[in-house]
Structure 1
Amino acid sequence: MLMNNAGVTRDSLLFRMTETDWDTVMTVHLKGAFLMSQAAQAHLVAQKYGKIVNVSSVSALGNRGQANYSAAKMGVQGLTRTLALELGAFGVNVRAIAPSFVVTEMTDATAARLKLDVEEFRRVGAENNPVKRVGFPEDIAAATMFLASDEASYITGQTLYVDGGATIG
């Protein structure tokens, strides 16, 4: 089983974003997932069984100040679909999970960068979905465990949005 979960942010509006900011985010998120999947697939195909779970984000659908991050995360979804097509016949399932606001050091750092109180930032994040709460790492872990399990053996090429319903509106 492989989980591609490396991530960084280099948020900036397009007119201020540097090529280095673009390249850093693309390299960590998209190239990293590609290289790790390429290395793992040899072993997974040889054993005719395996799971790859890629981490995308609801930001793949577009997010102000995150052209690099959004493009990389949508690229992860395209990579997921393509690898599912290529590896499915060899018993390898490939899926992606796309969280929304999850309480992490990265979202706390975003609050600090925006000069917002962390608790207020979380409260506003909670208001942006039907369940009226932010996500926690345990929410993402539970969905990932399902996607990595044999109970999900008929699911491949899909992206599961774990977002408290934020993308249904």
Structure 2
Amino acid sequence: MTTLVSSINRHLWTALDFKLSELLRVDLAIGVLFGVAALALSFTYPDAVLRAAPGAIGVVGVIVGAVVAGISFQAAFMDQAFLRKIRAIGMDPVYFLAPFLFTAVLGVVAMLGLIVLAALSPKAPEVAIAVVSTPTALITTWSIASLVPGMATLVQFVGLKMDALDVPDEIGHMPPGPSRGP
């Protein structure tokens, strides 16, 4: 069982192998701003931070659902002929799924942090609220804002599907080799 889980995780982390330039975008900056705001609010209005958690849980749940729908949409259009065309131009089909996979991972991590944040008491020490709310706010808002680059990739994918209409389906198809009889 552990071999299966590690194999699945290895494929996911391989798909999420982003360059630093792909991470340092406006969606991360939005997350950092909200993380700093959560840090400040944790010491000035800790109740406000705790009240935001239940609503954020719902929003992140919707985000994860939308991401799964986006991945399903793209995967449904990756038939064999299209995958051969993608291979012929030297692209990896996972490239088009990676932004959505990244948002899903962010959403899951955010959800875990939000569950912990929602379980904190208003009487909890402000430092404890700050320690939980700062990274949770950063990751939660990063996951929400990362939908925009994901949608851009979806538009790019649809454009590529349109371009692929002009390419014969037989491209990249290997001709049958000699028969290997007994």
Same fold per superposition (TM over 0.5): no
Higher strand share: 1
Higher helix share: 2
Q: TM-score, normalised on structure 2?
A: 0.32
* Larger relative contact order (Cα-Cα within 8 Å, sequence gap ≥ 6): 2
Return the index of the structure with the highest Cα Rg.
2
Normalising by the residue count of structure 1, what TM-score does the alignment of the two structures yield? 0.34
